[in-house]
Structure 1
Amino acid sequence: MTNFFEFIQVLREVTNSQIKTNDFDQCLITGPSYVIKQKRRKIKKAILTIDLNKTVLIEALKSKVDLILVYNFENLEKINLIDENLEKYKHIIENNILIYKIPESWTYSKGGLNETLTEILKLEIEGVFQIKIGKNFQPYGRICSPFKSQIRYSLFLNMISDKLGLKNFQYLLVNDTDDIVKKCILLVGKKTQLNWLKRAKMKDIELFLGNGLDYSLARHAESLEINFIDLTYNSIFLGLSRLSKVLLLKCPDVEFIDVRSPLPLFFFSR
């Protein structure tokens, strides 16, 4: 049966993580940091989720999981007895459930989140789009073009709705819906920044597929004459689902549960 130490090695392999073998503190939220104790913990059931909200925590307790793999965890410090969030995770700690953050490298690695989405949306990768994280540049995005070279924006929008299972999503078009989709950048997993749009414009990119389209970003995209389609965080769920299938091939004795935890946002209409 797969133990926690073995599982983390597999996760590191499939996400191309550069975390050193014994340096778990970057991603370990709850659980043993010593290898000898990790090898004693068996993993029978695991949850993959975007973040830790009430829905996820309840499901973890109800399903009696051993491990929660979370994509987005703002506080990377290991939860301890004086942590201000202790009450929120009290039952998780009492039930000895491990929490581990999915390495950020999964977002931009080969076969990771952004490459998975290019495959789902039938986009052909032509290159990488680097963004600055701290002092270094990382190849987060993918420069792409549709496999069907003559697909129009109207059809492309419908395809995104179908492939990503989106009934509602935001987009900004400076082109006409009858225009042909040309070169684009796909970069999800982080809120799109203005300087990314500026760099995209320098590369003659006409379309940016990202996250977090708001009024300010829309105005800037409009002024730069860049089309923008917000793939929403539902796209991350699809990536996590693909990741769970890859992990299952490597760890067939572990049961994986995908938990969707959408924000409680609603559309008001009269």
Structure 2
Amino acid sequence: MTVRYERPVSRAAFFGRRIAVFSFFMFVAAWGLHRFGPLSTPSFLAVFIAAALLCTFAAYLAVLGIGALWFKGARGGKASAAALLFAALPLAAFAYGISNYVNLPPIYDVSTDTADPPGWLHVPDADQSWLGQRRPVTAVDRQAQVARWRDLTGRRYDGGLDRVYTAALKVAVAQGLDLRFQRGAPELALQEIPETEVGKEEAVPDALDFVPVPIPRPAESERDDAGLPPGDPSIQGEQRTFAFGFRQDVVIRLREELETTLVDVRVASRYGDRDLGSGVAYIERYLRALDAELLGIAGD
């Protein structure tokens, strides 16, 4: 008589795979709708946390399935491996966020000038939904930033305000900043070179017929930014983080001091009471690009 051995089946492994696949596609759909679509950040975070918790449960079931395979030879090894594979991406993103949440200061607003941060041209406001109303930025928050990022400071350039403002605006646009407000933008006029000057032999060949020449700034009542609060020339806009598309408000302030121009940057996460280091990352990236744009005129 032939004895047939029937392998047991690990239900945990197959159930874990179903949960992991469902959670993975739920996470990917929420990410896509948030990064490129209309899904708000609070809604995305709620779905993200739910997907991460489901993936944690799926990973636990997958481990049970692997244990059943090892000790009993139960079927479900491939299902357990698939469950761990699908759960890896949401869990990795969740673990990265938790790591930054625990290890970085609990702040959502960072600035290169902690003593006198650049003021908002228009104060950002957003419905925090279930995230709750966040507290105002305090001196303790600024001290926590200095303690964690001591080298985060503004830049001083030997160029004039008009030149540095133009470069700061160019870099901001190149960095993907969605401009919303500007105050104190330099005005340039195209002044025609007289024909007698253009025709001179010593003139540079192929010289431009029009040269940009700075003209005095018009009175405040004539400017487009007359409705904004008075202060130093500034640029304000909105940008989104690369991976998840979290919205951040950015203001860039320029301050003319004798023969130099000081540039300071302030970044605030629009949602939540922590930015998980994304604000500092943007400031450092922006200032490196601005240094490259104004190469040769940076001061101390």
Pick the structure with more helix per residue.
Answer: 2
Task: State the TM-score, normalizing by the size of structure 1.
Answer: 0.29
Instruction: Report which of the two structures shows the higher radius of gyration computed on alpha carbons.
Output: 2
TM-score (norm 2): 0.26
